Chains A and B, each alone.
Chain A
């Protein structure tokens, strides 16, 4: 069994051999990754069910198809992404070749979380492979069945020289972080992110952090409560609320709340039936520890449970729960919930709601439900978050054209689509000058004079190139 350093040394040697550079190699690896997913779809779905009791539908949509989509997108666009990007020049450099070249960084590390263990590990990996790097992936040990499956499948489909899976818990991860990487991509919590950043600082390693936060959901103005309820329920209780972009809490007026709660109740029954625990379409909490954490929040809340509240420790089940009359300092407002509990805070004015969200850390996503575009505009322009979505939840992250990432406490850097390719590339500025026009160069050599300076100002100004 190879040690971590042996594995990394092997990857570095492979990278330095230049094998990952040619487009053909990257295409082959991405195509093989596609086969890995296609050939093993059933096993993937089963592993996810074992880890999170993930319904097949959710597993397909959020763990299989989104990965396949990203692979298709990368394969369609890889050639153009790899092309040099020519840039505009000034007069002094008109005859030169100036372009930006995307180059691989080297050996990169991707640390995955447990809530979407396939998607959040493989999606960044696609960007890293497309960009020509060697990759170490560290799946979450918490989602053990998926961890096992990835470890078994990866070496069967991808080059063993260039891509490795390293397993283990916090101790192994800390040891791994002592090594030098050319980029570290981490998805998870703020606490661990600080540890990752400190380890990266030692080697001046650039980092991408995909963290979380409390994603607010503001509902104001004229709103179709039934449609809003459908989308809100879907986004909130998908994966039993264990999504970094799940709407965490709702802010609305009393009247809206009174229209919303019965709509939520109805939608929950439409989706999951009257005995939700028996529905095959509802996930479970990932571990006993998280179940206890969530029940703790529910027990400490000073709000009123109006929907749900049922729970079953053995089954790690918590019913989709709605809590009203929640105040800003409630237990449910302390940390990211990451579970199927939806607090509703009653705040009459939109302005006051916006002010409340400004008192909290910047979240990964920000939601607003309203039929009035002025309300949507006001919220967009008076908030800051990783991403923004009006009148729906989660789906904005399925668009490969949008950069997916946080800001402030929700992280920095982004990926998806060509953003993933860029995250793992070095944009090298390349300038190829000719030998001619040495006389023009003389303007810049000492002895310096005012006359030379004026000529130089003209030739190097951006205005002068518009004359040409």
Chain B
């Protein structure tokens, strides 16, 4: 048996013991996970600094802050989320109990990404644990130091049989994908997303795919350009542009292009100093392969700001490109780097047309003081999420579903959405063997009279208060019994 097979088999065995069923058990695991973040910040931050050159504060802000909030939210609400959810009944099932029973799926596979390794690997894991599943965690091998820290620390804090960490590269991931899982949760790019879906097809495994795309950012010429550019600059260059919901490119009218460039330049200086290379708050490209990929995109565009780079340090300065055309290299794939192309368009109409030519992105941004502009943009496009007048922050609202559509993904999560996504919502009808008389109308031999009664009882859905329900029920039972006894049979 391969190492991967063993981990999955152990996880399934641990799941079958039933210990993750109890809500108390799940809450305790989540509390332990919470302690991991409060006790091990230093190790986490040191690894992230080596992988992505983030400062300790940066790491907390972008990675662990969100997770700690998520865990608290889960601990507070888990009992309610995991409880049976009652639903409406029809007249025929008035005296029965009807509810949705959230249940674990079994063994979930969580495949993490490298750009916010803790956030995108642990957040789905929180959902998996809360829903009562076992989960095999496969951190991205690209962020070498962080995946080692995960491998070392997670087994110390949470159940190492139920939630094993399996590290490795492509061959190890492929071996994992050969095993049977009850759900596969993948964060990454669409090419690998297709491979995951195909592997899942063999076992009829449902998947959640958090992918990416080119998230457009439209700037209305009438907006407060200075504020808009501050928010966009922050959204774009955080983590050196390596964010699935970073504003990928800007669309605006030619008349404001120079102003936009000027404002962005000002903000870059304000945030990252004159020399971002020496600024501790500015990140690096994850590795040389991606460095080369991003640099190649500069070939056929005009650099308005930045462009400085250093391959040995995987450093690319915050860069703005001007007068970019839709055919340019930088517009052919998700940039995932600190290049901000500006495509001049004649107005909202052309912007919408251009956006709809591309695949549906994970996020869509519009900056405008005019609600009509915002509404048109929202109504005439499709994207995972939509945010007006800012960037990224919709991610932080746990009550909003976070996920893609079309090429940007399948399914959503965060907060209760994670819980529901990694649960099986089982429909339950609990009847008694009494009141058999009422059932008679559905049994053969079939008569038209019986059909009439059956149609009446099944077709009405009732939603009355408890008292009303009981009164109605009592009346119905009497009526039904009398009628059926005397007239139907």
Decide if A and B are genuine partners.
yes
Chain A residues within 8 Å of B, Cβ to Cβ? 16, 18, 21, 55-57, 60-61, 65-66, 68-69, 72-73, 87-90, 92-93, 98, 100-101, 103, 105-106, 182, 190, 193-194, 197-198, 200-202, 204, 206, 209, 211, 223-224, 227-228, 230-231, 234, 270-273, 279-282, 369, 371, 376, 380-381, 384-392, 395-404, 407-409, 411-414, 426-435, 438, 441, 444-450, 452-453, 456-457, 460-463
Contact check, B431 vs A390: say whether CB atoms are below 8 A apart: yes
In the bound complex, what is the Cα–Cα distance between A106 and B381 (angstroms)? 12
Identify A384's interface contact among B103, B223, B400, B410, CB under 8 A.
B103
B210 CB, min distance to chain A CBs, angstroms? 12
Contact check, A376 vs B430: say whether CB atoms are below 8 A apart: yes
Known: A204-B194, A390-B431. A407 touches B389 (CB 8 A): no
Identify A449's interface contact among B57, B202, B406, B454, CB under 8 A.
B57
User: B336 in the interface, Cβ–Cβ < 8 Å?
Assistant: no
In the bound complex, what is the Cα–Cα distance between A384 and B87 (angstroms)? 20
In the bound complex, what is the Cα–Cα distance between A26 and B41 (angstroms)? 53
What are 22 A-B contacts with C-beta separation under 8 Å? A57-B450, A60-B451, A69-B458, A89-B399, A223-B433, A271-B444, A272-B445, A369-B433, A371-B432, A384-B424, A390-B429, A396-B427, A396-B429, A429-B401, A431-B388, A433-B387, A433-B389, A433-B390, A435-B369, A446-B279, A447-B271, A456-B61
Contact digits for B86-98, partner A, Cβ 8 Å, 1 yes 0 no: 0111101100001
A93 CB, min distance to chain B CBs, angstroms? 6
A399 CB, min distance to chain B CBs, angstroms? 6
Could you say which residues of chain A place their CB within 8 Å of the CB of B270? 445
Identify A65's interface contact among B201, B393, B401, B459, CB under 8 A.
B459
Known: A387-B428, A402-B100, A446-B271. A429 touches B204 (CB 8 A): no
Could you say which residues of chain A place their CB within 8 Å of the CB of B434? 227
Contact check, B401 vs A100: say whether CB atoms are below 8 A apart: yes
User: B224 in the interface, Cβ–Cβ < 8 Å?
Assistant: yes
Contact check, A438 vs B230: say whether CB atoms are below 8 A apart: yes
Contact check, A279 vs B230: say whether CB atoms are below 8 A apart: no
Contact check, A444 vs B61: say whether CB atoms are below 8 A apart: yes
User: B382 in the interface, Cβ–Cβ < 8 Å?
Assistant: yes
Identify A428's interface contact among B405, B427, B428, B458, CB under 8 A.
B405
Identify B446's interface contact among A57, A65, A386, A387, CB under 8 A.
A57
With most chain A CB atoms within 10 A of its CB, the pick from B103, B407, B430, B451 is B430
B10 CB, min distance to chain A CBs, angstroms? 18
Could you say which residues of chain A place their CB within 8 Å of the CB of B298? none
**Which chain B residues (29-72) contact chain A, with CB distance < 8 Å?**
55, 57-58, 60-61, 65, 69, 72
In the bound complex, what is the Cα–Cα distance between A281 and B450 (angstroms)? 13
Contact check, A100 vs B400: say whether CB atoms are below 8 A apart: yes
Contact digits for B303-318, partner A, Cβ 8 Å, 1 yes 0 no: 0000000000000000
Could you say which residues of chain A place their CB within 8 Å of the CB of B455? 60-61, 65
In the bound complex, what is the Cα–Cα distance between A365 and B94 (angstroms)? 21
Known: A98-B400, A448-B57. A388 touches B386 (CB 8 A): no
Known: A87-B397, A198-B198. A402 touches B57 (CB 8 A): no
Could you say which residues of chain A place their CB within 8 Å of the CB of B61? 444, 448, 453, 456
Could you say which residues of chain B place their CB within 8 Å of the CB of A430? 378, 385-387, 394
Chain A interface SS verdict (over half): mixed
A351 CB, min distance to chain B CBs, angstroms? 13
Contact check, B389 vs A413: say whether CB atoms are below 8 A apart: no
Nearest 9 CB-CB pairings of A with B: A401-B87, A402-B427, A197-B201, A87-B399, A201-B197, A57-B446, A396-B429, A281-B444, A412-B206
Chain B residues within 8 Å of A, Cβ to Cβ? 21, 55, 57-58, 60-61, 65, 69, 72-73, 76, 87-90, 92-93, 98, 100-101, 103, 105-106, 182, 190, 193-194, 197-198, 200-202, 204, 206, 209, 211, 223-224, 227, 230-231, 234, 270-272, 279, 281-282, 356, 369, 374, 378-380, 382-390, 393-394, 396-403, 405-407, 409-412, 424-434, 436, 439, 442-446, 450-451, 454-455, 458-459, 461
Contact check, A445 vs B383: say whether CB atoms are below 8 A apart: no
In the bound complex, what is the Cα–Cα distance between A389 and B93 (angstroms)? 12
Known: A431-B393, A444-B234. A462 touches B88 (CB 8 A): no
In the complex formed, the residue of B with least CB distance to A371 is B433
In the bound complex, what is the Cα–Cα distance between A404 and B429 (angstroms)? 12
Known: A387-B427, A448-B58. A401 touches B198 (CB 8 A): no
Identify A202's interface contact among B194, B272, B385, B446, CB under 8 A.
B194
In the bound complex, what is the Cα–Cα distance between A61 and B448 (angstroms)? 12
In the complex formed, the residue of B with least CB distance to A430 is B386
Known: A65-B459, A204-B407, A399-B89. A462 touches B72 (CB 8 A): yes
Could you say which residues of chain B place their CB within 8 Å of the CB of A72? 459
Contact check, A390 vs B430: say whether CB atoms are below 8 A apart: yes
Contact check, B428 vs A389: say whether CB atoms are below 8 A apart: yes
- Starting from the known contacts A105-B405, A431-B386, 15 additional A-B residue pairs (CB-CB under 8 Å) come to A87-B397, A93-B396, A197-B197, A198-B198, A272-B444, A281-B444, A390-B431, A399-B93, A402-B427, A427-B401, A429-B384, A429-B386, A431-B397, A438-B230, A456-B65
In the complex formed, the residue of B with least CB distance to A447 is B281
Could you say which residues of chain A place their CB within 8 Å of the CB of B399? 87-89, 98
In the bound complex, what is the Cα–Cα distance between A272 and B434 (angstroms)? 23
